[in-house]
């Protein structure tokens, strides 16, 4: 006769354990201490086996019957329920050991050697602030698209639209790493295409119109602030490297300053694209370096500073431009645009210009080879640019 809720509830312990059968191989085992356990007996491949289905009252009579029916279906399908149970436990253990944060940190450690320190620090800070608190403890294979979107929506709510886009890209990279290492089946960020807010029109670094160079160069010559800052801006215009590449420059990177072919060799670890970058130096750039050297003392940096980084801060040159009256009219990074415009209009080979701007080289082999390619032509190009600046300074 099938059990009832009342019979299960009132079952008391006796001197020895005993069973109360419910039918269909399900029974309640009652221990002398009164504890009650659901058990299921079955035969598979000629062997008698027993499975534990939980304890009462945590598992009710109705729930125990559901579990019994599931097992009976497995038997009908030729599946050994005890083996299936072990597989489920192993799967659950693997899922618990492969949380999003664990996989994310493993992906980060794998990628970090290819990044500059400032970028990797920013990336991990974003993950720890925005992503890991929500997704970190979850088994990565269980995370779905709505969960990811909820994380991204919180970033968008701060009006950080571009950051939200980049963070979703990083989340997608972590999922693809998990797929490649057998810890996830798919990347849910693929389902979120078109779900993010539009960042609107991109804001580019404001470039100074070529016609304003005369006024700027004259204002720079008359700049009465720190001499190192004035020389940094002058070197920036002459070389049009990225701001971070100039600020962290070290004297050990410069070669042949007393010779005919002076060169600035920026190491790969300081470059955005992770390739060594060669900057041929015009005589005017060498003059700036010679003027700058006595101001540096024994520091290895061209622009030493007592800051944590040990060199000029990110805003020093920008604030100097503000003092010179260029607030909102141009940025330090924008000098790259001025140089690119003039060099293209002057008819220099586009490959020379792109190589000198150290733009992204998609083919890594070609990019490494091109660090020196066109060097003779680029050297003449840099001299012509410096001569143009001399002429512009006097109108």
Q: Is 242 a catalytic residue?
A: yes
* Tens-digit pLDDT profile for residues 229-280: 999 999 999 999 999 899 999 999 999 999 999 999 999 888 876 788 999 9
Q: Which of 65, 230, 247, 336 is catalytic?
A: 336
Q: Is pLDDT above 80 for 361?
A: no
Q: Which of 154, 272, 274, 383 is catalytic?
A: 272
Q: Assess if CATH 1.10.443.10 describes domain 210-393.
A: yes
Q: Which of 65, 242, 247, 277 is catalytic?
A: 242
* Tens-digit pLDDT profile for residues 69-120: 999 999 888 888 888 888 777 666 555 668 999 999 999 999 998 887 778 8
- What predicted TM-score, i.e. pTM, was given to this entire model? 0.52
Q: Is 126 a catalytic residue?
A: no
Question: Which CATH code for domain 5-95?
Answer: 3.30.160.390
Q: Which of 333, 355, 378, 379 is catalytic?
A: 333
Q: Is 333 a catalytic residue?
A: yes
Question: How do the domains of the chain map onto residue ranges?
Answer: 5-95, 100-192, 210-393
**What pLDDT, on the 0 to 100 scale, is given for residue 256?**
94
* Tens-digit pLDDT profile for residues 198-240: 765 544 455 677 777 888 899 999 999 999 999 999 999 999 9
Q: Is 205 a catalytic residue?
A: no
CA distances (Å), origin 28, targets 16, 55, 56, 57: 14, 9, 9, 11
Q: Is 272 a catalytic residue?
A: yes
Going along the chain, which residue ranges are E strands?
18-23, 26-30, 36-44, 47-56, 254-255, 263-266, 277-280
* Tens-digit pLDDT profile for residues 331-349: 888 888 889 989 999 999 9
Mean pLDDT, residues 382-388: 95
Mean pLDDT, residues 308-335: 86
* Tens-digit pLDDT profile for residues 10-21: 999 999 999 999
Q: Assess if CATH 1.10.150.130 describes domain 100-192.
A: yes
């Amino acid at each position: 006769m099938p059990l009832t809720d009342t019979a299960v509830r009132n079952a008391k312990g006796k001197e020895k354990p005993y069973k109360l059968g419910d039918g269909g191989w399900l029974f309640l085992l009652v221990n002398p201490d009164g504890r009650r356990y659901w058990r299921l007996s079955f035969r598979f491949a000629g062997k008698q086996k027993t499975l534990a289905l939980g304890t009462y009252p945590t598992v009710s009579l109705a729930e125990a019957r559901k579990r019994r029916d599931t097992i009976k279906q497995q038997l009908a399908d030729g599946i050994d329920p005890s083996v299936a149970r072990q597989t489920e436990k192993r799967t659950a253990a693997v899922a618990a050991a492969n949380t999003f944060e664990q996989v994310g940190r493993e992906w980060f450690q794998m990628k970090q050697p290819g990044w500059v320190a400032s970028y990797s620090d920013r990336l991990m800070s974003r993950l720890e602030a925005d992503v890991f608190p929500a997704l970190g403890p979850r088994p990565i294979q269980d995370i779905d698209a709505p969960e990811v979107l909820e994380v991204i929506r919180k970033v968008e709510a701060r009006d950080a639209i571009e950051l939200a886009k980049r963070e979703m890209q990083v989340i997608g990279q972590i999922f693809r790493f998990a797929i490649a290492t057998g810890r996830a089946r798919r990347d849910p960020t693929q389902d979120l295409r078109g779900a993010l807010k539009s960042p609107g029109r991109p804001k580019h670094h404001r470039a100074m119109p070529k016609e304003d160079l005369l006024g700027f160069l004259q204002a720079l010559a008359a700049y009465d602030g720190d001499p190192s800052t004035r020389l940094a801006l002058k070197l920036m215009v002459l070389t049009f490297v990225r701001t971070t590449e100039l600020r962290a420059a070290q004297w050990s990177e410069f070669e042949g300053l007393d010779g005919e072919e002076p060169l600035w060799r920026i190491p790969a670890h300081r470059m955005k694209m992770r390739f060594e970058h060669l900057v041929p130096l015009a005589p005017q750039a060498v003059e700036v370096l010679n003027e700058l050297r006595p101001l540096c003392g024994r520091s290895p940096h061209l622009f030493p500073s007592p800051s944590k980084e040990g060199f000029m801060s990110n805003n020093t040159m920008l604030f100097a431009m503000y003092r010179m009256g260029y607030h909102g009219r141009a940025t330090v990074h924008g000098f790259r645009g001025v140089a690119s415009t003039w060099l293209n209009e002057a008819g220099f080979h586009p490959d020379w210009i792109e190589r000198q701007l150290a733009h992204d080289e998609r083919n890594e082999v070609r990019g490494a080879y091109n660090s020196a390619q066109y060097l003779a032509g680029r050297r003449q190009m840099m001299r012509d640019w410096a001569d143009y600046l001399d002429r512009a300074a006097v109108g």
